[in-house]
Structure 1
Amino acid sequence: MSRHTTQTAAAAATADETIQERQADPRRWYALAVFLLPVLLISLNTYMIQVALPSIQSSLQASFSEAQLMVSGFSLSLAVALIVSGKLGDLYGRKRMLLIGVSGFTLMAALGGMASDPALLIALRIVQGIAAACIQPQVLSLMQVGFLPREKGLVFAIYGALIGLGFAFGLILGGILVHWNPFGLGWRTVFYFNVPFGGTVLLLLPFLPEAGTIRRRGRGQSIDWTGALLLTVGLFLLIYPLSEGQKRGWPLWTGGCLAASVLLLLAFITVQIRKRGCPSAPLIDLSIFLRRTFRIGILTVITVYFSMFSFFFILSYYLQFGLHYSMQLTSFAFLPLGCGFFLTSLLSSRIVSRWGITGLKAGALFMGGSTFLLIASLHCGSGQLLNAQAVLILLVYGCGLGMVTTPLANVVLSTVTPEEAGTGSGLFTTFLYLSNSLGVALTGILFTASLGHPLTAAAANDYVQAFSASLTLTGGLAFAAFGLLCLLPGGEANSQD
C-alpha cells in the first residue's frame, strides 16, 4: 500500500470518527448506569437465591427436586429465550424490549416474595428467567452500538466488573439478608431486594436514549416464528436434560430428549438456510458464522465458559461434600475468585489497549496454570482450600478469568453490524449458558466416575482425587482457549474483521 493511500485511509478514518463523535448521544454514560443496573440485579439474584434455597424449601415444605427447579427453571428459561429476545430487540427496539424485561423481572420478584406454594414460585421463576432474557441481549447491544469504538473497552470493562461484583458478593449478600431477617421476612427479602432497584430503572428508562440506530426496515418485517419455535424447543430439549440428568442419574428420557434436540436444531438450520434471500427473513442469518473473528470468538466463548463453569461446579461440590463447608463458608472460598475477576475486569480496557489480544491469552494461561497449581496445593496441603496458598491461587484464577472473559464479549460482538447487534448478543449469551450446562453435565460425570463411591460414602482422599481429575479437564480447556485466541487477529480486542 502506498504512502498516499495510507494517508487517505487514515484521513477517512479520522473523518468517520469525527462524524461518530457528533452523532453520539451525550447522555450515553448516564444511560449506561441505568442499563447496567438490571444486569447487576440478575447476577446478584442468581447467587442470593442459592443461599436462600434451604430456607425456601423448609418454609414452603418443598421437595428437593422442587427446590432445584426454582434455580434451574430460571436458568433454563433464560437460556432458551435469549436469541429470540435479541432478534425482537433488533426489529422492534432495544429499549422497548428492555422495558418489558425489567417490568417482568421486577413484577416476578415482587410476586415471588409473596408466594406460599412451591409450584407457584417455580412458575414465577420461569417467567422471571424469560424476563431476564429480554434484558441481557439488549444491554449488550446498547453497549455495542451506543458508544464510540475507543469507549467500548471501558464500557465492557464496567460490564464485566459488575458481573464480577455480583459473583463475588451475591452469596454473601444473600446470606446477610436471610440472617438479618428484616421485618421478619426471612428468605422473601432476597426477592423484595430487587423491587426498588427495578422500579428505579423503570422510572428512568423513558428519559434515556435508544442508544444506537435501528434501521426501520425492521418495521416491515415479522419475526420468523417457525424458526423461533424450532430453536426454542430444540434448546430446551438440549439444556434441560444436561442440567437435570446428573441429579437424576441419567434416566433414559435424557437420551431421548438429546436426540430430539439434535433433530430440531438441524431442522432449524435447514429452515434458516432456505429463508435466506426470501421476503420472510430468517431468525438468524447464519452467514454471521462465516466471519472468522465471530466464528473463532464463539468457539473461544464455549471453551472458556465450559472451563469456568466446570471449575465453579466442582469447586462447590468439593467444598460442600468433600470438606463439609456450609454455604456461607463456601461463599468465602469463592470470594478471592470474585475479587480477582472484579479487579481485572475493571482494568481490562487498559490491558487490552496496551497488549491487545495478548492480554486475553495471558488470562487463559493464568486460568489454566492456576488449576494445575491448585492440584499441587491440594496434595501438599491435606486437601484444604482456605489456607493462604490456595486462596492466592484462587485469586490468580479470578484475575485470569476477568482478563479473558470481559474483553471477549467485545471481540465477538465487534464483528456484528448495528442492525444485527441483538441477534449477535443473543447468540453470544446463548452459547455462554449452553457452555454452563455442558460444563456442569460432563464435569459431573467425570467427578462422579473418579470418586468411585456415593457422595456420602466417599473418603476425603477420594474427593481429592476426583477433584484433581476434574481440575485437569478444566485446566486443559483453559489452555485450549489460549490456542483458539492465538487464531484471532492480533492487535486491539475491538478490531474488526
Structure 2
Amino acid sequence: MRDRRSPESTVSADRSSTPADLPAGYDGRRRWQALGVGLVAAFMTLLDVSIVNVAVPSIDRALHATPSDLQWVLSGYALTFGLVLVPAGRFGDARGRRIGFVVGVTLFTVTSALAGLARSPEWLVIARLVQGAAAGIVNPQVSGVIQQLFRGAERGRAFGLLGATIGISTAVGPLLGGLLIQLGGEEHGWRWVFFVNIPVGIVAVLLGWRLLPGRPTGQPDRHRLDPVGVLLLGIGVTLVLLPLVQREQWQTPWKWILIPIGLAFLAAFAAWERWYARHRPPLFDLRLFALQSYTLGSLIGLVYFAGFTAIFFIYTLYLQVGLGYSALAAGLAITPFALGSAAASAVGGRVVTRLGRPLVATGLLVVVAGLLATFWVLRGEPHQSVGLRTALPLLLAGLGSGLVIAPNQTLALSEVPVPQAGSGAGMLQTGQRIGSAAGIAGVGALFFSTLADTRGDWATAFRHALLLAAGIIALALVAAILDIAGGRRAGRAAAGPSAAGS
C-alpha cells in the first residue's frame, strides 16, 4: 500500500525530535552557517549548467572549435553531473558530508581553472567533463546537510533557500555570463566565466572543512559503497543520457536504441539493489519508492525540469541568434524569471509544511499561466522589444517556479531517513538531470524542425517550442492534482469508519 502520510504529520514528528538528533555542536547558529556555505557551492556548480551557453560564440572564435566540440562543452558537464549524484550521495551518507563536500569543491575549483586556461577544444572538453563530475559530488552533500541538521519548519525554510538557489542559478547564468564576457572582452571574456569560480571555491573549501558535519558516529562499513551498484547505475544513466545530449551531433537514428539498453541496465541495477539490501546497505534503498511523498516528488521533479530547463535553452537561442541580442542583453531578458523564482522560493519554503502538495500544484498552474502569457504577448510579427514584452509574463512564471522547486524537494525528502538523505537526494537530482536532457532534446527538436519548415522564422519556432514546454509542465500539474484528489479520497475513506464507530 502506498504511504499516504501528509507532510504535516512528518513535520509533527520532526518537531518532537530533541537536540540529541543533531551532531554535537550543531544546535545553534552553526547549522545556518553550514547551510550558507553549502548554498554558495551549490549556486556555483548549478550556475555552470547555464552560464556557459552565452560563452559558446566566444569559445568558438577563440579555440576554433567544431560543433561537436561545443556540444560536448555544454552537454558533457550535464552528463557527468548526473552520472555521479547517487554514488556521491551514498558516499556522504557513509563517510560524512564534510569530506564529500570538500573533495567535490576542490576538484571543481581546480577544473574551473583548467577550463579557463584551455588552449584547445579537447582540453576544454576534458576539463568540463571532470568539472561536471565534481559538481555531482557537491550537490547531494548540500541536500544531505539540510536533512541532517534541520527539523520541522526549519527544514522547509532551508529547502526554500536551496530552491531559490536552484532557480536563481539556472536563470541568472546567461546574465552573469554576458556581463563577464563584456567586461573581459570578446576574445578572453569567456575565460572569466570559469575563473570566477576560483576565489569562491577556495573560500567554500576552507569554510566547508570548518563548518560541515564530519564522519557519522562509529566505524563506516567498507562494503557500503556497493561498487557493482555504482557500475550498473553509471552505465544505465550514461546510455540514457548520451543520445539526448548528443541529439544534434549523432545524426543516425540508431542512437535511440541506447535508451532501451540503458533502461535495461537500470532494471538490472534495481534487481541488484534489491538483492544486495538483504546483506549490506545498498547504494540506493529502493524502499524509498514505497513512500508516496518521495515517488511523486521525484516524478514531478523529472517532468518539471524537462519543461523548465528547455525554456531557457530555446529563449537564449531565439534572442541571441534569431534577434541578434548580445549575451548581456539576453541575460537581462531572463532576469525577471530569476527574480520571481527567488522571491517565491523563500515564501514557499516557509509555508510548504502547512500547505503541502496543493502549494506545488498552485505553483505549477502559475508557471503554465506565465508561459501561456509569454506566448500571447509574442503573437504576430517579431519585434526587437521581445525582452521588455516578456518581462511580466516571465516574472509570473518565475513566481510559480519558486513555489514548485523548493516545496517539491521538501515534500519529496520529508520522510527519507537521515542515513539515506544523500543517496535519496542524489536519485532525486538524477531524475531532474535526465528530465532536463530529455526536455531540451524534445523541445529543441521541435524548435529546430519548425525553424527549418518555416525557412528561418525564429519567432514561430520559439512560440511552438514554448507551447510544448508549457504542455510538459502541465503534465506535472496533472500528477500533483491527481495526488491531491487521491489523498482526499483516502482521508474520507479513513474518516468514514471512524464516524460510523462513533
The two structures have a TM-score, normalised by structure 1, of 0.87
Provide the rounded CA distance (Å) in 1 between the counterparts of 2:165 and 2:372: 28
2:303·2:473 contact (CA, 8 Å) conserved in 1? no
- The aligned residue for residue 93 of structure 1 is 96
Q: 1:13 to 1:161 in 2, by over 3 A?
A: closer
- The aligned residue for residue 236 of structure 1 is 238
Q: CA deviation at 1:382?
A: 5.3
Q: Which moved more, 1:165-174 or 1:195-204?
A: 165-174
Q: Deviations over 1:212-263 (max 9, x none)?
A: x836464343421112111101111110101111x13641341232232122
Q: Deviations over 1:438-457 (max 9, x none)?
A: 111122333345x17258x2
Per the alignment, in what secondary structure is the counterpart of residue 379 of structure 2? helix
1:293·1:489 contact (CA, 8 Å) conserved in 2? no
1:104-119 to 2 correspondences below 5 Å: 104-119=107-122
1:359-374 to 2 correspondences below 5 Å: 359-374=359-374
1:378·1:385 contact (CA, 8 Å) conserved in 2? no
Q: Deviations over 1:134-188 (max 9, x none)?
A: 1000111001111132211211122222233323432222222222128x95322
- The aligned residue for residue 66 of structure 1 is 69
1:179-328 to 2 correspondences below 5 Å: 179-181=182-184, 185-210=188-213, 214=216, 216=218, 218-245=220-247, 247-248=248-249, 250-278=251-279, 280-328=280-328
1:402-413 to 2 correspondences below 5 Å: 402-413=402-413
Q: Which moved more, 1:418-427 or 1:261-270?
A: 261-270
Q: 1:175 to 1:422 in 2, by over 3 A?
A: same
Q: 1:95 to 1:479 in 2, by over 3 A?
A: same
Q: CA deviation at 1:320?
A: 4.0
Q: Which moved more, 1:463-472 or 1:23-32?
A: 463-472
- The aligned residue for residue 125 of structure 2 is 122
Q: Which moved more, 1:49-58 or 1:339-348?
A: 49-58
2:368·2:474 contact (CA, 8 Å) conserved in 1? yes
Provide the rounded CA distance (Å) in 1 between the counterparts of 2:270 and 2:217: 25
Q: 1:66 to 1:334 in 2, by over 3 A?
A: same
Q: 1:239 to 1:487 in 2, by over 3 A?
A: farther
- The aligned residue for residue 493 of structure 2 is none
CA RMSD across the alignment: 2.9
Per the alignment, in what secondary structure is the counterpart of residue 82 of structure 1? helix
1:1-150 to 2 correspondences below 5 Å: 16-17=17-18, 19-20=20-21, 24-26=26-28, 27-150=30-153
Per the alignment, in what secondary structure is the counterpart of residue 213 of structure 2? coil
Match of 2:161 among 132, 155, 158: 158
Per the alignment, in what secondary structure is the counterpart of residue 248 of structure 1? coil
1:296·1:487 contact (CA, 8 Å) conserved in 2? no
1:303·1:480 contact (CA, 8 Å) conserved in 2? no
Q: Deviations over 1:19-76 (max 9, x none)?
A: 5589643211121222221111113333332222221221122112112211211111
Q: Which moved more, 1:218-227 or 1:119-128?
A: 218-227
2:171·2:335 contact (CA, 8 Å) conserved in 1? yes
Paired residue type of 1:362: T
Q: CA deviation at 1:287?
A: 1.3
Q: 1:485 to 1:330 in 2, by over 3 A?
A: farther
Q: Which moved more, 1:63-72 or 1:21-30?
A: 21-30
Paired residue type of 1:325: Y
Q: 1:460 to 1:74 in 2, by over 3 A?
A: closer
Q: 1:207 to 1:21 in 2, by over 3 A?
A: closer
Q: Deviations over 1:294-338 (max 9, x none)?
A: 111111112222221233333334434544434333222211111
Provide the rounded CA distance (Å) in 2 between the counterparts of 1:208 and 1:163: 22
- The aligned residue for residue 439 of structure 1 is 439
- The aligned residue for residue 396 of structure 2 is 396
Provide the rounded CA distance (Å) in 1 between the counterparts of 2:13 and 2:269: 41
Q: 1:482 to 1:389 in 2, by over 3 A?
A: farther
Gaps of 5+ in 2: 1-9, 489-502
2:177·2:327 contact (CA, 8 Å) conserved in 1? no
2:153·2:350 contact (CA, 8 Å) conserved in 1? no
Q: 1:96 to 1:487 in 2, by over 3 A?
A: farther
Match of 2:461 among 463, 483, 489: 463
Provide the rounded CA distance (Å) in 1 between the counterparts of 2:307 and 2:410: 20
Provide the rounded CA distance (Å) in 2 between the counterparts of 1:340 and 1:33: 21
- The aligned residue for residue 493 of structure 1 is none
- The aligned residue for residue 477 of structure 1 is 475
Q: CA deviation at 1:133?
A: 0.8
Per the alignment, in what secondary structure is the counterpart of residue 277 of structure 2? coil
* Amino-acid identity (%): 29
The two structures have a TM-score, normalised by structure 2, of 0.86
Gaps of 5+ in 1: 1-8, 491-497
Provide the rounded CA distance (Å) in 2 between the counterparts of 1:260 and 1:385: 46
Provide the rounded CA distance (Å) in 2 between the counterparts of 1:267 and 1:11: 38
Provide the rounded CA distance (Å) in 2 between the counterparts of 1:381 and 1:488: 45
Q: Deviations over 1:372-428 (max 9, x none)?
A: 233332326757773655321111001000111111111111111011011101011
- The aligned residue for residue 486 of structure 1 is 484
Provide the rounded CA distance (Å) in 2 between the counterparts of 1:11 and 1:453: 56
Provide the rounded CA distance (Å) in 2 between the counterparts of 1:15 and 1:468: 46
Q: CA deviation at 1:485?
A: 5.2
Q: Which moved more, 1:11-20 or 1:408-417?
A: 11-20
Provide the rounded CA distance (Å) in 2 between the counterparts of 1:342 and 1:222: 37
2:413·2:425 contact (CA, 8 Å) conserved in 1? yes
Provide the rounded CA distance (Å) in 2 between the counterparts of 1:85 and 1:351: 30
Provide the rounded CA distance (Å) in 1 between the counterparts of 2:15 and 2:64: 64
Q: 1:478 to 1:372 in 2, by over 3 A?
A: farther
2:178·2:326 contact (CA, 8 Å) conserved in 1? no
Provide the rounded CA distance (Å) in 2 between the counterparts of 1:97 and 1:409: 21
1:34·1:204 contact (CA, 8 Å) conserved in 2? yes
1:322·1:463 contact (CA, 8 Å) conserved in 2? no
Provide the rounded CA distance (Å) in 2 between the counterparts of 1:118 and 1:11: 54
1:45·1:170 contact (CA, 8 Å) conserved in 2? yes
Q: 1:395 to 1:464 in 2, by over 3 A?
A: same
Provide the rounded CA distance (Å) in 2 between the counterparts of 1:385 and 1:171: 18
Paired residue type of 1:227: G
